[in-house]
């Protein structure tokens, strides 16, 4: 199991990779790059833990504890004792429910 | 024959829509950007026909948020296509994918509800790349027979993508440009307005006009200046960037203390200046930290680390400034000044 030296939860096991290239397509930060036989972990430090790669990897070669990188949501969850840390939700945090946490509207 | 069936189904199942953005649309976008009626900027769910699509026309999937839907349909001007709108509760694609509402189950449900397999003869869906955190492409294939193709991050790149069916590395990367950041400020401002007024009133009764201005400055620095200056502020962590911006914003107030009362004791002036230099940056840094959720690149691990590292420092700075305020108030009461 290849452990990444950086401080996030992304883990990629090249032994399981079937080189379908889905992770290189879904990652918004070019963390993965195409390789000849397996995908290469090119920029693990840029991972924002959105979880797209794990969900779209048919071989289960990628794991990441996905979640929102949103302090407002995490602090709110800590204060209210809620386990579920999510953007927006019913309350009005600045992230999400408009386009903000994602900034892209597409 | 297939064409006839398709045309029939199109009329039955797909609502006609154009790529024209009307004044009413623009008004709706403006209100959404200002946080008015959040979650209420929705479009009807289901299948839409843009132009004159046939059984071979591409199917593009989006969220039922007006800004998402309108960005997509305006980008598709002149391209006969179908738009499949999922129920994301009026939330944009990326956030909805993170929540799971722009998700595998919803997509499969919407394919079935619209009888999409009868409308088009192919079995390909083009999804926005940022929908991927909610969608397992191989699951969609298994459950619906449709193959998911992840298109570019931005709808504006779709015309090129639809020709080449290949997204360039540039199309696959999210950005966070000055324009992207500017567009977020109204919502931040609207949400910061009440706390700002409350803080200004409280500060006014404690320290007068200058203190009220200080509170307003700290909050405006956090919600307006910080998003603008984000990439140019030194340091990596949001909190540190916020501290730096807050100190710069507090400096004029510290100077004002010295200029205002040249006759007062130096320790009194220094102490009062220190209140500004501690309280203002603490507020600005806290707001800066809260901006993490609005960006396109912060991770949960990174934000958690920042919270544990910096929130105690912010609290300490703010607490110390409160202690100073109380101390000076007591000295004043005891006639020490």
Determine whether the interchain pair B93/A92 forms a contact, defined as Cβ–Cβ distance below 8 Å: no
- Label residue A31 by pLDDT band (50, 70, 90): very high
Residues in chain B with CB shorter than 8 Å from the CB of A85 are 300
Give the tokens for residue A70: 């949103």
pLDDT at res. A67: 85
Task: Give the pLDDT mean for A33-38.
Answer: 95
Residues of A in contact with B138 (CB under 8 A): 56, 58
A96 → chain B, closest CA residue: B95
Taking contacts as CB-CB distances below 8 angstroms, the residues of chain B near A99 are 32, 65, 67-68, 92, 95, 183
Cβ-Cβ contacts under 8 Å, A27 against chain B:
172
Is pLDDT above 60 for B268? yes
Q: B135 vs A67: CB contact, 8 Å cut-off?
A: no
Residue ranges matching CATH 3.30.70.20 in chain A: 11-63
Q: CA-CA distance, B108 to B54, in Å (whole number)?
A: 22
How would you class A62 by CB atoms within 10 Å of its CB: exposed for 0-12, middle for 13-18, buried for 19 or more?
A: buried
Of A1-5, B194-198, B257-261, the poorest mean pLDDT is in A1-5
d(CA B50, CA B172): 25
Q: pLDDT confidence of B10, banded at 50, 70, 90?
A: low
C-alpha distances in Å from residue B83, one per residue of A11, B48, B60: 35, 5, 5
Nearest to B173 among A30, A70, A98 (CB): A30
Quick one: pLDDT at residue A1?
Answer: 41
Scanning every residue of chain A, which has its alpha carbon at the shortest distance from the alpha carbon of B181? A103
A36 vs B332: which has the higher pLDDT: A36
Residue B336 has a pLDDT of 55
**B79-135 pLDDT, tens digit each:** 999 999 999 999 999 999 999 999 999 999 999 999 999 999 999 999 999 999 999
**Confidence band of A104 (pLDDT split at 50, 70, 90):** very low
More confident residue, B123 or A96: B123
pLDDT at residue A88, rounded to an integer = 47
CB atoms within 10 A of CB B7: 15
Is residue B1 pLDDT above 60, yes or no? no
Burial class from Cβ neighbours inside 10 Å (0-12, 13-18, 19+) for residue B86 reads buried
Q: Tell me the count of A-B CB pairs closer than 8 A.
A: 207
Interatomic CA distance for residues B202 and B220, integer angstroms: 17
Helices (H), B37-184: 66-75, 93-99, 104-113, 116-119, 137-144, 158-164, 169-172, 178-182
**Can you give the pLDDT at residue B264?**
84
Given an 8 Å threshold on Cβ–Cβ distance, is B299 in contact with A27? no
A100 contact residues in B (CB cutoff 8 A): 184, 187-188, 293-294
pLDDT at A4: 41
Structural tokens at position A77: 């969850």
pLDDT per residue over B274-318, tens digit each? 999 999 999 999 999 999 999 999 999 999 999 999 999 999 999
Q: CA of B306 to nearest chain A CA: how many angstroms apart? A: 9
For chain B, list the domains and their CATH numbers.
Answer: 2-172 (3.40.50.11600), 178-333 (no CATH)
pTM, full prediction:
0.88
Measured distance CA(B248)–CA(B199) in Å, rounded: 20
Question: What is the structure's pLDDT at A6?
Answer: 54
Q: Is residue A99 scored above 50 in pLDDT? A: no
pLDDT tens digits for range B18-37? 999 999 999 999 999 999 99
B94 φ/ψ angles, rounded to the nearest 5 degrees: -65, -45
Of A78, A60, A62, the C-alpha closest to A70 is: A78
pLDDT band at A85 (very low <50, low <70, confident <90, very high): low
- The torsion of the CA quartet B79, B85, B89, B91, rounded to 10 degrees, works out to -30
Nearest beta carbon to residue B99 from set A25, A65, A86:
A86
Q: Does B134 touch chain A (CB under 8 A)?
A: yes
CB distance B95 to B132 below 8 Å: no
pLDDT at A29 over 60: yes
The answer to whether the Cβ–Cβ distance between B133 and A51 falls below 8 Å is yes
**Could you tell me which residue, A16 or A95, shows the higher pLDDT?**
A16
pLDDT at A86: 62
Has residue B60 got a pLDDT over 80?
Answer: yes
- Contact map slice: B 237-276 vs A, CB within 8 A: 238
Beta-carbon separation of B169 and A86 below 8 A: no
Q: What class does CATH assign to A11-63?
A: alpha beta
């Amino acid at each position: 199991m290849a452990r990444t030296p950086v401080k996030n939860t992304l883990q990629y096991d090249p032994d399981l990779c079937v080189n379908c290239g889905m992770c290189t397509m879904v990652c918004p930060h070019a963390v993965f790059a195409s390789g000849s036989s397996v995908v290469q972990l090119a920029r693990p430090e840029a991972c924002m833990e959105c979880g797209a790669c794990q969900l779209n990897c048919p071989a289960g070669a990628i794991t990441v504890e996905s979640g929102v990188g949103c302090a407002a949501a995490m602090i709110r969850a800590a204060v209210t004792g809620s386990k579920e840390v999510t953007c927006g939700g019913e309350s009005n945090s600045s992230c999400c429910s408009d386009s903000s946490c994602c900034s892209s509207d597409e | 024959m297939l064409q006839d069936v398709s045309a029939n189904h199109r009329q039955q199942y797909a609502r006609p829509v154009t790529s024209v953005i009307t004044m009413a649309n623009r008004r709706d976008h403006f209100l959404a950007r200002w946080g008015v009626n959040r979650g209420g900027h929705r479009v009807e769910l289901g299948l839409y026909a843009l132009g004159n699509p046939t059984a071979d026309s591409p199917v593009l999937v989006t969220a039922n948020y007006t800004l998402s839907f309108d960005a997509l349909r305006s980008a598709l001007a002149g391209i006969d296509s179908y738009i499949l709108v999922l129920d994301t509760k009026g939330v944009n694609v990326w956030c909805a994918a993170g929540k799971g509402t722009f998700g595998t189950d919803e997509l499969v449900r919407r394919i079935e509800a619209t009888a999409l397999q009868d409308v088009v003869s192919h079995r390909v869906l083009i999804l926005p790349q940022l929908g991927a955190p909610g969608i397992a492409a191989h699951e969609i294939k298994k459950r619906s027979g449709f193959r998911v193709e992840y298109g570019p991050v931005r709808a504006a790149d779709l015309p090129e993508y639809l020709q080449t069916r290949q997204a360039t590395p540039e199309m696959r990367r999210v950005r966070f440009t000055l324009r992207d950041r500017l567009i977020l400020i109204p919502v931040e401002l609207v949400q910061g307005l009440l706390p700002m007024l409350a803080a200004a009133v409280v500060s006014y009764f404690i320290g007068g006009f200058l203190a009220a201005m200080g509170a307003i400055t700290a909050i405006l620095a956090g919600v307006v200046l910080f998003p603008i200056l984000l990439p140019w502020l030194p340091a990596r962590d949001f909190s540190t960037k916020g501290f730096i911006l807050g100190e710069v914003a507090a400096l004029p107030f510290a100077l004002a203390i010295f200029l205002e009362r040249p006759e007062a004791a130096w320790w009194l002036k220094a102490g009062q200046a220190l209140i500004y230099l501690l309280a203002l940056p603490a507020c600005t840094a806290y707001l800066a930290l809260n901006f993490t959720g609005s960006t396109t690149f912060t991770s949960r691990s990174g934000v958690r680390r920042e919270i544990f590292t910096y929130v105690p420092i912010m609290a300490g700075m703010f607490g110390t400034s409160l202690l100073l305020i109380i101390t000076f108030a007591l000295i004043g009461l005891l006639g020490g000044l």
